[in-house]
Structure 1
């Protein structure tokens, strides 16, 4: 994980006091833009090696059923190294999850997020309503609310049996994002592929989303990608903040009719 900050660059200007003041104010604001990158290749011997006390890697593993599990699989990745295998039974009245999570950041409006990972999906399994990636805000929910914390956010889900990816926005009070490419592309099965999800964060129409498979853009849409205060106030919920502070990847929800197993490797999570 790296974090880069550039210091202010002061420049003397002879155009008068006003120009000097503008330079002193504007330049530091521009240079203060943050860049953040977290990556993981899963080259460890066991899952607990990823969950360090200093939280320098992952925050925790999320498991909602005792049958669900995650484990390091040696020599399973395309490079010959280790990968992370997830397994989850179907959901019942309770959502079935088996994913790994990272917290400790704040993403806000106007920032651009890029998530990429290698995935391996099994053949001949119904993938409809399988969720692979969640971006959420745990700390936005009012502490005194009578409603349980819904962790508002957007999610990457597969919308049909063959695995066509889409952006689900119900947790921010919006319909699923429409794919402006107007074509249905399914995910590869039985082989490793690279999935990349790009998001521009905004609570209004300035938001956008793109999905790329093996560097080919297959999905692009525009519209809100952050929750808005107005969309929750109509239900009597006053959000404490508008941001994202949690990232989950794996089987973030198995709403398919069957048990699901998948592998991931080389996760990259970065924003600016």
Structure 2
């Protein structure tokens, strides 16, 4: 992790030090992350592999997802399962992302926080994605009706590393949750509302993170590099 990004992660962690200590896992390199015992790879017309940092000397992960074909999107994502988190819980994902020059920065899903075992088809959950280079949150798969139509986030710049943080408090319509997205340490999206699948309360939870290119809806192949990843959970 680059020094600037490391300091930003430490500041985010320190800001919540007064709360109950989170469960933290930090993966500084591609080999470290790929060695997670229960890690799964999702490669649908896509590939994941360790690769040299395009602008540095370390090893990172290169995700490459092919064009959408016959209604199926390309996927190249890592799946990190964890114990279910329900209403009132909190999760924060921080990751270094690099879009190579020439790669489309539209219709690329980056993070999925979803529930595999909620008893609902399609693994309902929230998605963080790029629309015309800007980060947005999609709630369609939890019954939220539509994405939070907020295009206020600045566009990512290709050819350089960005630090993206998604801080999510889990809630329902009756007790709304809170979604905050940070780009390079600066708050760029702040929304409140349902953040859990619209299922009976005893099954309203998330239990896994997908990260990388979780869906590519473009008519061409896209590439993304993934650096250090930190996952924090407050059950």
5+ long unaligned stretches in structure 1? 1-32, 143-148, 230-237
Q: Does residue 39 of structure 1 match 2:26?
A: yes
5+ long unaligned stretches in structure 2? 1-19
Q: Does residue 63 of structure 1 match 2:25?
A: no
- Please give the TM-score of this superposition, normalised by the length of structure 1: 0.72
Q: Which runs of 4+ in 1 moved over 6 A?
A: none
Q: Number of matched residues?
A: 212
Deviation sequence 1:146-198 (CA, Å, 0-9, x none): xxx210000001122xx11100011101110243xx62411121101111111
Q: 1:124 to 1:247 in 2, by over 3 A?
A: same
Cα drift, residue 133 of structure 1: 0.4
Report the Cα distance in structure 2 between the residues aligned to 1:81 and 1:60, rounded to whole angstroms.
Answer: 23
Name the one with the larger strand percent.
2
Deviation sequence 1:9-35 (CA, Å, 0-9, x none): xxxxxxxxxxxxxxxxxxxxxxxx672
2:68 partner SS: coil
Q: Does residue 50 of structure 1 match 2:22?
A: no
Q: 1:91 to 1:239 in 2, by over 3 A?
A: farther
Cα drift, residue 126 of structure 1: 2.6
Cα drift, residue 141 of structure 1: 1.4
Superposition pairs for residues 69-218 of structure 1, below 5 Å?
69-76=47-54, 78=56, 80-92=57-69, 93-141=71-119, 149-160=121-132, 163-174=133-144, 175-179=146-150, 183-204=152-173, 206-218=176-188
The higher relative CO (CA closer than 8 Å, separation ≥ 6) is in: 2
Deviation sequence 1:78-107 (CA, Å, 0-9, x none): 5x3210001011122112110111113211
Q: Does residue 258 of structure 1 match 2:207?
A: no
2:109 partner SS: strand
Q: 1:43 to 1:100 in 2, by over 3 A?
A: closer
Cα drift, residue 125 of structure 1: 3.2
- Please give the TM-score of this superposition, normalised by the length of structure 2: 0.82
